[in-house]
Amino acid sequence: MKVTDVVRHGRRCAPVERRGDISAVLYADFFMPSRSRSLASVLLLFAAVWLGGISALHYILNLHTAENKFAKVAKKDKFRIGFLPVTCHLTCPVSDFINQKMTGDNIFEPIRFSSWPELKEAYLSGQTPATFILAPMAMALREQGVPIKIVYLGHRDGSAVMVHKDSNIHRMEDLRGKRVAVPNRFSNQRLLIFRALRQAGMTINDIELVEMPPPDMPAALYAKAVDAISSGEPFMGQTELDGYGRVLWLTKDVWPNFISCVLAVHEDMIKTRPEVVQQLVDGIAQSGKWLDQSMDHRMQASQFVSKNYYHQNPRLLEFVLSKPPDRVKYTELEPLRKDFEEIEQLGREAGILKGTAHFDDYVDPSFARKTTHLRAFAWEEKP
Amino acid sequence: MSVVPAEKKTTAIRPTPPKKANPRGALGVYLRPALVGLIFLLSWDVGVRWMHSDIFPTPFDVVKGVWELAQAGLLLKYIVASLFRVSIGFALATLVGVPLGLVLGWSIPAFQAFNPLIQIFRPISPIAWIPLAILWFGISDAAPIFLIFLASVFPIAVSTISAVRNMQPVYLRAARNFELSRAELFRRVIFPACLPQIITGLRISLGIAWLVVVAAEMIAVNSGLGYLIIDARNAGKRYDLVVAGMAMIGLIGLGLDLLVRRLEHFDEVRWMYAHRR
């Protein structure tokens, strides 16, 4: 290296003619620091430009488009509903989508969560005055004094216990000493396992239960980290579709008319805006009837729900909604006393419920009763 | 590129010294890391093929996943969303953490009073704060920004405190001779003397802020690289997108680090490091 090089490169002054233009100054100073500008001025300028730029971009790319998509008419009485991307909550996006298509608007804004705790916390903080939630979780919240009322069911059946196709597990008895994954201690899948164990003459001590978020279950079964998994669809169907899972049993075989998720709303909403709750329940009921009206409707739903709400491969929903068709049901969704009394009793056995709240405390069946005369949405997706 | 240290000017006209690996040459800056990267990608690819895993993606699957996201227009959106949250959270953490650190580093009573509290809060993972973030900030951008702020404010404060406490006493003695006022002492002596260490602290904290982006976006936001990972887990067998999200976070982290490193080339910072190079 020559002296002249050193001198020339040693002081990298920004070219004089480029000064004045902010971007040139930024570039010159930040990438070729010189003695002529202090760190503080460069840093402040850079921070200001960066923060301003990234905020503007975020607004344009994310916030602005989201606003366009969900709240073109930003009505202030539009409320949010929490849901997870599982078939137990399918009526929520279906109702939203069809309402949007038919009337151009909807009374609620569906908010997708990724796991139960966050969904529950958003309800507790009042962010989502209505939510799809696990039935025993809603009941336990009620026992803890949370003003929550179940107004409708999310579905019936629609769950399974899956084992690895290479395993030797063919009956409930074969699960002795094995590791079984359930989504949550308040999940009905856990109660389902309790019930199946009792039918097989076993107890909870014969197996090892672990809690695991449903999206992680397929990979865990694939890697044989657990011997059996149980959660809502489509995560069970996924293992079957991908060729490594085998159905040990479907819920309809062990607990016919099984309920796992319900639609629950805040008590204040029932008191102050009963007509809105009724409208919500009507929409969910009509969506359920629409889904069960024909296989074609279910295939349509698979497409638009996968694409716009669940961000899954449509094949997954198509599979679990059709093989077999009675894998999950979206009719007869009125909350009934005997169903919940059974859940209550199992919940007490499983140690998740104290038994201090009863059907009349945590259920308001009046909205569901007014939906019996309703028909399915008269709507078809145009190809 | 750095300014060539002044003492090199004299060595340049001496006879050429014995040949040594040039740390600034193309070999050191580009070739070596590229080679290591290539070996890493190859062994990843071979590993996946050898294990016959159809769940774990190969590097090529990941590239295809990134391309798919770019085509859908999601990649830019997600990167911007994550950078926005980290930028705002980190900026707030700097505005709070640096002054706090300067005061606590300078005043022994204040340090004694507040340091235990800082040390109690510091090791709490941002994941543990998620429920409180939802309760306080709802399900908007404010909650992830709060988590990123929390994750970075304590490292910034702690590194600033230690910068002030480790300052050479000779600067203070000299400053006393000039009879500077308290405000001037901070502005003209303490802050400049600590700046190199503060910048290093900021660099490490920015890494931490970027690190928690996945956890922060577990809250019901609908954009961001952390959200991409969580969304891909929900999407069935899309582990290529999970790894794509990881790769994008890593690459952008590298970019951020390089950017902050530029600060070390300023004279205000370089005086402390130049002789070490």
Domain end, chosen from A246, A278, A296, is at A246
Specify whether the backbone of A228 is left (phi greater than 0), alpha (psi in -120 to 50) or beta: beta
| CATH code, domain with A84 | 3.40.190.10
Chain B hits for A46, CB-CB cut-off 8 Å, are none
Q: Which long-range contacts (CB under 8 A, 24 or more apart) does A91-96 make?
A: A91/A154, A91/A155, A91/A284, A91/A287, A91/A288, A91/A291, A91/A330, A92/A132, A92/A263, A92/A284, A93/A305, A93/A308, A93/A309, A93/A310, A94/A287, A94/A290, A94/A291, A94/A301, A94/A305, A95/A283, A95/A284, A95/A286, A95/A287, A96/A309
Chain A hits for B8, CB-CB cut-off 8 Å, are 6
Q: What is the pLDDT of residues B2-58, one digit of tens each?
A: 444 444 444 445 555 555 556 667 777 788 888 999 999 999 999 888 887 777 889
For residue A187, pLDDT beyond 70: yes
Q: For residue A125, what are the domain limits?
A: 80-157+259-369
Domain end, chosen from A215, A246, A277, is at A246
Question: Mean of the per-residue pLDDT values for chain A?
Answer: 79
Do residue A56 and residue A90 come from a single domain? Answer: no
Q: What is the mean pLDDT of residues A175-203?
A: 85
Determine the pLDDT at residue B168.
79
For residue A16, pLDDT beyond 60: no
User: With pLDDT > 90 as the criterion, what percentage of chain A qualifies?
Assistant: 3
Q: CA of A4: which chain B residue's CA is closest?
A: B9
Classify A324 as helix, strand or coil.
Answer: coil
Specify whether the backbone of A382 is left (phi greater than 0), alpha (psi in -120 to 50) or beta: beta
Interface touch A9/B4, C-beta < 8 Å: yes
Half-sphere exposure of A260 (CA within 13 A, CB side): 32
Q: CA of B80: which chain A residue's CA is closest?
A: A58
Mutate to test the interface with B, among A3, A35, A54 (most CBs of B within 10 A): A54
Provide the pLDDT confidence category of residue A77 given band limits of 50, 70 and 90. Answer: low
Domain-located, residue A113: yes
Domain-located, residue A138: yes
DSSP letter, residue A76: T
Determine the pLDDT at residue B234.
72
Do residue A208 and residue A150 come from a single domain? Answer: no
* Cα–Cα distance measured from residue A95 to residue A287, given in angstroms and rounded to the nearest whole number: 5
Cα distances (angstroms) measured from residue B213 to each of A65, B235, B258: 22, 20, 19
A102 CA to chain B: closest CA distance, Å?
25
Do residue A319 and residue A179 come from a single domain? Answer: no
Do residue A148 and residue A294 come from a single domain? Answer: yes
Do residue A222 and residue A320 come from a single domain? Answer: no
The phi, psi pair for A155, rounded to 5°, reads -175, 175
User: Which residues of chain B register pLDDT less than 50?
Assistant: 1-12, 276-277
Residue A372's CB is within 10 A of a number of other CB atoms, namely 8
Chain A hits for B219, CB-CB cut-off 8 Å, are 118
Domain-located, residue A54: yes
The residues facing A112 across adjacent strands are: A83
Sheet with A261-266: strands ordered across? A108-112, A79-83, A130-134, A261-266, A148-153
* Cα–Cα distance measured from residue A284 to residue A302, given in angstroms and rounded to the nearest whole number: 17
Domain-located, residue A377: no
Q: Is the distance from CB of A331 to CB of A358 less than 8 angstroms?
A: no
The reply to whether the predicted model has a pTM over 0.80 is no
Domain-located, residue A253: no
Least-confidence region, from A39-48, A59-68, A180-189, B248-257: A59-68
Least-confidence region, from A174-178, A186-190, B44-48, B266-270: B266-270
Q: CA of B10: which chain A residue's CA is closest?
A: A3
Classify A97 as helix, strand or coil.
Answer: helix
Which residue among B12, B237, B266 places its CB closest to the CB of A1?
A: B12
Domain-located, residue A375: no
For residue A330, pLDDT beyond 90: no
Which residue among B88, B130, B234 places its CB closest to the CB of A85?
A: B234
Q: What is the mean pLDDT of residues A349-377?
A: 82
Length of chain B: 277
Domain-located, residue A379: no
Strands A79-83 and A108-112: parallel
Specify whether the backbone of B171 is left (phi greater than 0), alpha (psi in -120 to 50) or beta: alpha
For residue A199, pLDDT beyond 90: no
Do residue A263 and residue A365 come from a single domain? Answer: yes
Q: Is the distance from CB of A169 to CB of A175 less than 8 angstroms?
A: yes
Do residue A264 and residue A214 come from a single domain? Answer: no
Question: One-letter amino acid identity for B46?
Answer: V
Q: What is the pLDDT of residues A103-126, one digit of tens each?
A: 777 788 888 887 888 888 888 888
Which residue among B134, B222, B266 places its CB closest to the CB of A122?
A: B134
* Cα–Cα distance measured from residue A344 to residue B266, given in angstroms and rounded to the nearest whole number: 68
Q: ipTM score here?
A: 0.70
User: With pLDDT > 70 as the criterion, what percentage of chain A qualifies?
Assistant: 86
The residues facing A328 across adjacent strands are: A157
Chain A hits for B3, CB-CB cut-off 8 Å, are 9-12, 33
Most confident of A302-316, A354-368, B79-93, B229-243: B79-93
* Cα–Cα distance measured from residue A47 to residue B90, given in angstroms and rounded to the nearest whole number: 11
Q: Could you tell me the domains of chain B?
A: 58-266 (1.10.3720.10)
Q: Is the distance from CB of B101 to CB of B161 less than 8 angstroms?
A: yes
Classify A245 as helix, strand or coil.
Answer: strand
Do residue A153 and residue A293 come from a single domain? Answer: yes
* Cα–Cα distance measured from residue B199 to residue B206, given in angstroms and rounded to the nearest whole number: 10
The phi, psi pair for B82, rounded to 5°, reads -65, -45
Interface touch B80/A58, C-beta < 8 Å: yes
Interface touch B269/A39, C-beta < 8 Å: yes
Q: CA of A57: which chain B residue's CA is closest?
A: B80
Chain A hits for B261, CB-CB cut-off 8 Å, are none
Determine the pLDDT at residue B109.
92
Q: How many domains does chain A have?
A: 3
Chain B hits for A234, CB-CB cut-off 8 Å, are 236
Do residue A144 and residue A293 come from a single domain? Answer: yes
Residue scoring higher pLDDT (A252 or A240): A240
Q: What is the dihedral of CA B154, B157, B160, B164, to 10 degrees?
A: -130
Contacts of A248 (CB under 8 A, 6+ apart): A160, A161, A162, A163, A169, A170, A172, A175, A228
B112 CA to chain A: closest CA distance, Å?
31
Contacts of A125 (CB under 8 A, 6+ apart): B134, B135, B136, B138
- C-alpha angle B157/B159/B165, rounded to 5°? 100
Of A368, A366, A348, A334, the C-alpha closest to A136 is A348
Determine the pLDDT at residue B50.
86
b/e B186-220 (16+ beta carbons within 10 angstroms → b): beebbbbbbbbbbbbbbbebbebbbbbbbbbbbbb
Classify B269 as helix, strand or coil.
Answer: helix
Q: What is the mean pLDDT of residues A43-51?
A: 85
Q: What is the CA radius of gyration of chain B?
A: 23
Token digits for A202?
């076993």
Determine the pLDDT at residue A347.
86
Chain B hits for A114, CB-CB cut-off 8 Å, are 218, 220, 230-231, 233-234
Domain end, chosen from A188, A215, A246, is at A246
Determine the pLDDT at residue A183.
83
Sign of CA dihedral A176, A177, A179, A181: positive
Domain-located, residue A285: yes
Do residue A332 and residue A364 come from a single domain? Answer: yes
Do residue A175 and residue A37 come from a single domain? Answer: no
Mutate to test the interface with B, among A3, A118, A241 (most CBs of B within 10 A): A118
b/e B92-107 (16+ beta carbons within 10 angstroms → b): bbbeebbebbbbbbbe
Do residue A263 and residue A338 come from a single domain? Answer: yes
Interface touch A311/B266, C-beta < 8 Å: no
Interface touch A215/B234, C-beta < 8 Å: yes
Strands A228-232 and A179-182: parallel
Q: Is the distance from CB of A270 to CB of A276 less than 8 angstroms?
A: no
Interface touch B76/A216, C-beta < 8 Å: no
Which residue among B80, B131, B237 places its CB closest to the CB of A121?
A: B131
